[in-house]
Structure 1
Amino acid sequence: MSRSLTIAAAQYPLDALGSFADYEAKLERWVAEAAGQGAELLVFPEYASMELVSLDGPEAGHDLQRSIDAVSKRLPEADRVHDRLARRFGVAIVAASAPERQADGETLNVARFFGPSGRVGRYAKLMMTPWERDPWKIAAGRELTVFDIGPARVGLVICYDIEFPLLSRALAEAGADVILAPSNTESEHGYWRVRTGAMARALENQVYTVHAPTVGPAPFCTAVENNCGAAGIFAPSDEGFPPGGVIALGELNKPQWVTAKVDLDLLKRVRETGGVQTYRHWGEQPGAGSLPRAKLVDLSVHKAEAAE
């Protein structure tokens, strides 16, 4: 029996929320829909958490540092919701990344990874875009992580990270079968940069890559006012896969889940006998020996039964 994993990538709209209960109900609807489609791994976009700023009143979203504080302070409550939903539906959830204030005053762009057993991992974005550097003043994370969710080992990068090949290569060498790239881009140019990066990383490393973007306008929050993208699940272009490497692709800017079941054993076969062996031949490139290291976090043990 072949190993497989059903993945759902969100094309997620940001809404002005009337209450935290509205946020919780929205997330539950989204998770229930993906789980109903058979998804085992759900991926929400970068900075989709910024919709939480609307709970601090109409002025908060138009002041950058105030909006960061407004979202950061609600993360423990948001984490409890994601943990409950992961347990209830028996799925792994990559929550929308968020600006997180640290005790030393530094701010990181952090995505949290919730396993169905109650274990939680986290990843802080490493490569910051020009606008994250200034005026956002978001600091870079310090380590790469591969998450073992049972059926697969999953690498996680965030948006701009996917445009830098060495990060994904380090995840692949640490055992990642799938590399996730949640994103937040305001234009089609930005969307295509992330999508092109995701497709290139699938080719280079002979892995699946998953792109999950925010979509639509969010006039209540200046930092993420415009959002453009289409979710996609990509593979190396080789025998057994679609010729263009596109497993599934959403409709541009339409709120929806993009879901696909991916064959993990096929990756192994392609690495060994495919028309090319880019994973195997990587080290033959001049200068290819210098890579960052990625740690492994186990989110798979004692998988919980649905709690409700």
Structure 2
Amino acid sequence: MTATGRTFVAACVQMRSGRTISKNVDEAARLVREAADAGAAYVQTPEMTNILVRSRAELFAAIMPEDVCPALAAFQELARATGVWLHIGSLAVRLEGERAANRSYVIDPQGEIVARYDKIHMFDVDLPDGETWRESETYRAGEQAVTVQLPWGRLGLTICYDVRFPTLHRALAENGAEILASPAAFTKQTGAAHWHVLLRARAVETGSFVVAAAQGGAHEDGRETYGHSLIVDPWGRVLAEADDAPGVILAEIDLAKSPEIRRRIPALENGRRFGVQPLPSEPTALRDVGA
């Protein structure tokens, strides 16, 4: 399988990252090499490739700023060694003031970083099973949507919880993206309910391919992630899917299909801006009820 023109092979590396960055980097590298050996030209790893740990103190004891991050340097060398476009779904990198960024990197086959994206939407939720997450207490939210040109077409970058915000994906598609990346560490509970439908919806409503590498299984810090890395075509068909174990999935991507689907269902072209009529401060129906 070789990349030609508008057609290439994409791979998702599914992981089960733990507390030790060096071990996670080694495991990611092993799986990236497996994907490259299988013919992938673009390889995506999941959110938090370098570390998954609940403890804020443990996180900040382990992570480093981007310019001295050994994990990032290792992945740049890996891209050079394998000759793939390597998309690190995200790394936790230290910022000033005891804050971190949840940051994606797209690295070209020469090992150069060609795009960075900081996750915009923070996962601040209380789940019905008692799980509580407050990403905004640790991570600084991004403010800029990002696309990057690959040899075959334009890629739009998102991370995990971003998948619940269709306006971001539409903006990426309106700015030329025909592939949408959604690396994730979805919780097992929310993933079982929403993962497939959300990713397929983002593909259908934008006429884009969606590539989503995921974390999967029971992690060292006690969390469980859903796995099921997916590659979806612009018609919403699942081209490849993992289970919840670490591994690699691959699919051939023909980007000529994206404009074809967009012509058949011109949702991007037909979209219109609109206002929203405010509710009256005292609706007539409520006044009538008490009369």
Are the structure 2 counterparts of residues 38 and 286 from structure 1 closer, same or farther at C-alpha, using a change threshold of 3 Å? Answer: same
Aligned counterparts of 1:92 and 1:250: Cα–Cα separation in 2 = 21
The Cα shift of 1:191 comes to 4.8
Aligned residues: 263
Corresponding residue number in structure 1 for 2:240:
248
Provide, for residues 167-205 of structure 1, a one-character-per-residue CA deviation record: whole Å limited to 9, x for no partner: 011111111110000111221423542432221111111
Q: TM-score, normalised by structure 1?
A: 0.77
Larger radius of gyration: 2
Note the 1:204-283 alignment, pairs <5 A: 204-219=205-220, 221-222=221-222, 225-237=223-235, 245-251=237-243, 253-272=244-263, 274=264, 276-283=265-272
In 1, Cα distance between equivalents of 2:260 and 2:71 = 40
Q: 1:123 aligns with which of 109, 117, 121?
A: 117
Distance verdict in 2 for CA 1:112–1:138, change over 3 Å:
same
Counterpart of 2:8, as a letter, is: L
Note if 1:94 corresponds to 2:58: no
Identity of aligned residues (%): 26
Distance 1:191 1:111 in 2: 24
**Which whole-Å CA distance do the structure 2 matches of 1:191 and 1:159 have between them?**
14
Task: Summarize the Cα distance change of 1:86–1:134 in structure 2 as closer, same or farther, 3 Å threshold.
Answer: closer
**Cα distance in 1, alignment partners of residues 72 and 122 from structure 2:** 24
Find the residue that maps to 1:196 and give its secondary structure. Answer: helix
Closer/same/farther in 2, CA of residues 162 and 36 from structure 1, 3 Å limit: same
Structure 2 unaligned regions, length at least 5: 126-132, 277-291
Q: Secondary structure in 1 aligned to 2:72?
A: helix
Q: What whole-Å deviation, never above 9, does each CA across 1:203-255 have from its counterpart, x for those lacking one?
A: 11100011211011122x35xx2222201111232xxxxxx52122222x122
- For 1:12, the equivalent position in structure 2 comes to 15
Mapped partners of 1:142, 1:100: distance in 2 = 17
Aligned partner letter, 2:227 = G
Unaligned runs of 5+ in 1: 52-60, 238-243, 289-308
Does the 8 Å contact 1:157/1:179 carry over to 2? Answer: yes
| Alpha-carbon distance between aligned partners in 2 of 1:260 and 1:112, rounded to the nearest angstrom | 21
Query: Whose RCO is larger (CA < 8 A, sep 6+)?
Result: 1
Shift of 1:98: 2.8
In the superposition, the TM-score normalised over structure 2's length comes to 0.82
CA contact 1:184–1:227 (8 Å) conserved in 2? yes
- Cα distance in 2 for residues equivalent to 1:46 and 1:171: 19
In the alignment, which residue of structure 1 is the partner of 2:281?
A: none
The 3-state SS of whatever aligns with 2:224 is coil
